[in-house]
Amino acid sequence: LIVAGPASAFEDMLSQPGSVHGSIGLAVGVKPEYAGAKDSETRLMPHVSLYYGQTLFLTGMTAGANLFRQRTTQGIAVTAGPLLALRGGRQEDDNAALNGLGDIDRGLDAGAFVRLRKGQWQLRADVRADVSAGDGGTTVNVSAGHGWHVDEKLHARAILDATWASSDHMNTFFGIDAVQAANSGLSKYQADAGFKGAGVSLMADRAINSEWTGFAALRYTRLIGDAADSPIVADLGSRNQVAVTAGIKYRF
């Protein structure tokens, strides 16, 4: 989910030790039917961004803890810690291009993140590895972003990011083994480790009052490398992935 990915990195953790705070809401999203699809689907999605004090957080499908916090002499705030994230799967009947490829179960990833922030600028990197029974492999995401206040009620953000994936991850989501090839009629395809995509996200929050805020996000991702060359992308899908989200959230 857009609002639960890079966008959530810009949420401020309020200085309220021992308190639960954040926002909950609802959004309508339009996104590709699978990673690499040319067709889109519309979904109603929850928005969740919760914090406990300045340490624990739950944003979307990711939970973590800011166990290391330090400010350098240059005024850069450095935060790091562990994270757990639910990883989405894929159903064979999500799209006709997936016929014969079988389902991909959801899984659980564990990893760590580090964030550098100064003013409205932010750099972030996180690494995640599958700790469930699946073949989600390992991914590394790096991002750079900037936020600004358009006026007293409107806050906008822009983020650039790229994702590297292990061969296990690449083959789970983009590879085609012998059995899948026989069932689907597609050619066998072996995907190696490497960068699988790069993207840009544009987001905006518009305060309605002191408690309610409307939000919107637009994300473009370009699949690259072996992910882009997979038959389910190059032949039956699209390297260009666009997702749009709009919703409302309640802050507390």
Q: Is the pLDDT of residue 8 over 70?
A: no
Burial of 122 (0-12, 13-18, 19+ CB in 10 A): buried
Q: How confident is the model at residue 133 (pLDDT cuts 50, 70, 90)?
A: confident
Q: Which residue has the tokens 């803890």?
A: 65
Query: What pLDDT sits at residue 134?
Result: 75
Residues 81-108 have pLDDT tens digits of 999 999 999 999 999 999 999 999 999 9
Percentage of residues in the chain having pLDDT higher than 90: 90
In three-state secondary structure terms, 9 is helix
User: Are the C-beta atoms of 246 and 216 separated by less than 8 Å?
Assistant: yes
Q: Is the pLDDT of residue 55 over 60?
A: yes
Q: What average pLDDT does this structure show over 200-205?
A: 98
d(CA 127, CA 120): 23
- More confidently predicted of 4 and 157: 157
d(CA 176, CA 195): 18
Q: Is the pLDDT of residue 22 over 90?
A: yes
Q: What is the mean pLDDT of the chain?
A: 92
Global pTM reads 0.90
- DSSP string computed for 90-123: B-GGG-GGGTTS--B--EEEEEEEEEEEETTEEE
